[in-house]
């Protein structure tokens, strides 16, 4: 099948690799413009661009898909289908109408739950027992199109956004190849009930409110690993918490109940949070045992509460 692929991060690159391996002709790849990254703010190509160039595929990096020149280039390919995975740009109606078999999106949730930009993180934050991949026929709405193929995946209690991302990326790569092989497929409209939206994760969400239940805070630590990293302030220093679980404990919200090789136990609104991996601003990620070997934290001291 002749197709166009639109995607940017590693999640999308795995799907592109699977499509190439399946023998499809990827005639054009659309990806986000190179971004400055790292301490040196050096321009870096997206994982999808790197893979496409290595495979000898033409790459287009428009700022928008609304301009006439870009749309004409897409039409000139005469692709049968456009596959989209975490691209980052909205496909206007003029582009959605180009391919004969439409535009297929690889979405990392069980639609209609968690439409939007951050379905993996929001599913963990909400304590969902499962998630999955939906191969969706795109329309003008925000992840509102009918579903062609769906795969489910349990969310383990130890899953972080990073580990769940990797599992879903593998599932998405497998399902898009299966969907392409079976086209045209029967499209199932999404249910009108159970709709939720997964807003983009912002750094302003990273600060932990110790008045919340420990189970909720443990879910946020997992959801914010690796970005933006759950944060707390103690004694004027900022810390990022990378691994934690909810345990029994009683104290003032934010109060350190114990600090030993087993972890740093901090009282919450209900229960306590045992932190087993953390990082001081400017330092390295360390286990609780390693961290406490160089930093003394006394029981009774308190992590700061949000000011708002």
Q: Tens of pLDDT along 156-208?
A: 999 999 999 999 999 999 999 999 999 999 999 999 999 999 999 999 999 99
Domain positions in the chain = 2-197, 203-294
The upper half-sphere exposure of residue 300, i.e. CA atoms within 13 Å in the direction of its Cβ, equals: 1
Assess contact for 27 and 77: CB atoms under 8 A.
yes
Three-state DSSP class for residue 52: helix
| Signed CA dihedral, 97, 99, 101, 105: sign only | negative
Tell whether the model's pLDDT for residue 308 goes beyond 80: no
Q: Give Cα separations from 23 to 3, 16, 18, 80 (angstroms).
A: 11, 11, 9, 15
- pLDDT for res 40: 66
What is the CATH code of the structural domain delimited by 203-294? 3.10.25.10
247-306 tens-digit pLDDT:
999 999 999 999 998 999 999 999 999 999 999 988 999 999 999 888 888 889 999 987
CA 307 to chain centre: 28
Largest CA distance in the chain: 68
Q: Find the range with the poorest average confidence among 33-42, 59-68, 132-141, 165-174.
A: 33-42
Residue-wise pLDDT tens digits, 11-51: 999 999 999 999 999 999 999 999 877 666 678 899 999 99
| Distance separating the N- and C-terminal Cα atoms of the chain | 54
Per residue in 98-128, pLDDT (tens digit) is 999 999 999 999 999 999 999 999 999 999 9
Beta strands in 211-301 (DSSP E): 230-234, 237-247, 256-260, 263-267, 272-280, 286-287
For the entire predicted model, the pTM comes to: 0.93
The pLDDT value recorded for residue 290 is 93
Domain 2-197 falls in which CATH fold?
A: Rossmann fold (3.40.50)
């Amino acid at each position: 099948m002749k197709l166009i692929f639109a995607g940017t991060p590693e999640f999308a690159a795995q799907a592109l690799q699977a499509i190439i391996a399946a023998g499809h002709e990827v005639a054009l790849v659309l990806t986000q413009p190179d971004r400055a990254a790292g301490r040196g703010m050096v321009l870096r190509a997206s994982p999808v661009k790197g893979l496409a160039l290595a495979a000898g595929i033409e790459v287009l990096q428009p700022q928008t898909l609304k301009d006439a020149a870009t749309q004409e280039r897409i039409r000139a390919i005469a692709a049968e289908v456009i596959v989209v995975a975490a691209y980052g740009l909205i496909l206007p109606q003029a582009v959605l109408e180009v391919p004969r078999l439409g535009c297929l999106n690889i979405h990392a949730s069980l639609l209609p739950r968690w439409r939007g930009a951050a379905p993996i993180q929001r599913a963990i934050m909400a304590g969902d027992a499962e998630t999955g991949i939906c191969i969706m026929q795109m329309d003008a709405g925000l992840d509102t199109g009918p579903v062609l193929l769906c795969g489910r995946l349990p969310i383990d209690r130890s899953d972080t956004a990073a580990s769940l991302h990797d599992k879903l990326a593998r599932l998405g790569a497998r399902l898009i190849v299966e969907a392409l092989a079976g086209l045209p497929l029967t499209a199932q409209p999404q249910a009108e009930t159970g709709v939720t939206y997964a807003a983009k994760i912002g750094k302003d969400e990273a600060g932990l409110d110790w008045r919340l239940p420990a189970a909720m805070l443990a879910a946020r630590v997992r959801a914010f690993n690796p970005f933006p990293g759950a944060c707390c302030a103690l004694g004027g220093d900022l810390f990022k918490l990378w691994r934690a679980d909810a345990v029994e404990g009683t104290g003032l919200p934010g109060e350190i109940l114990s600090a030993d090789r087993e972890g740093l136990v901090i009282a919450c609104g209900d229960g306590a949070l045992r932190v087993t991996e953390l990082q001081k601003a400017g330092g390295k990620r360390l286990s609780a045992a390693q961290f406490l070997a160089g930093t003394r934290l006394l029981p009774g001291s308190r992590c700061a509460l949000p000011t708002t």
